Amino acid sequence: MAVKRWIGAALDINDKWTITIAGTWAPADTVTVTVGNSALIVTIGTAFAIGDVANALNAAINAVSSTASLVGDESRNVGGRQVPELVGISSTVVSAVVTLENSEAGIPFLPVVTESAAAGTAIAANSQVATGKHFAGNAANWEGGVLPILNDQLTFDTGSVSCLYGLDYFRTTIAIDFTLLVTTDFTGRIGRAPYHGNGYWEYITPRYLQIKGSSGSGYLWQTGE
* pLDDT tens digit sequence for 38-53: 999 999 999 999 999 9
What does the pLDDT average to over 91-114? 97
68 lies in some domain: yes
Point out the least confidently predicted range of 4-13, 79-88, 215-224: 215-224
Query: Is residue 165 very low, low, confident or very high in pLDDT (cuts 50, 70, 90)?
Result: very high
Backbone dihedral region for residue 119 (phi beyond 0: left; psi -120 to 50: alpha; all else: beta) = alpha
Spatial contact of 131 and 37, defined as CB atoms under 8 Å apart: no
Owning domain of residue 69: 16-128
1 lies in some domain: no
Query: How far separated are the first and last CA of the chain, in Å rounded?
Result: 29
The residue type at 176 = I
120 lies in some domain: yes
172 lies in some domain: no
Residues linked to residue 121 through DSSP beta bridges, in sequence order: 22
213, pLDDT greater than 80: no
Rounded CA gap, 17 and 37, in Å?
18
Query: Is residue 154 very low, low, confident or very high in pLDDT (cuts 50, 70, 90)?
Result: very high
Spatial contact of 202 and 210, defined as CB atoms under 8 Å apart: no
Mean pLDDT of the chain: 93
Spatial contact of 161 and 134, defined as CB atoms under 8 Å apart: yes
190, pLDDT greater than 80: yes
Beta carbons within 10 angstroms of residue 33's beta carbon: 28
Residues linked to residue 114 through DSSP beta bridges, in sequence order: 32
Return the SS3 of 127.
strand
Number of domains comprising the chain? 1
pTM for the structure as a whole: 0.91
Q: Report pLDDT for 220.
A: 52
The residue type at 224 = G
Q: What is the tens place of the pLDDT at every residue in 78-88?
A: 999 999 999 99
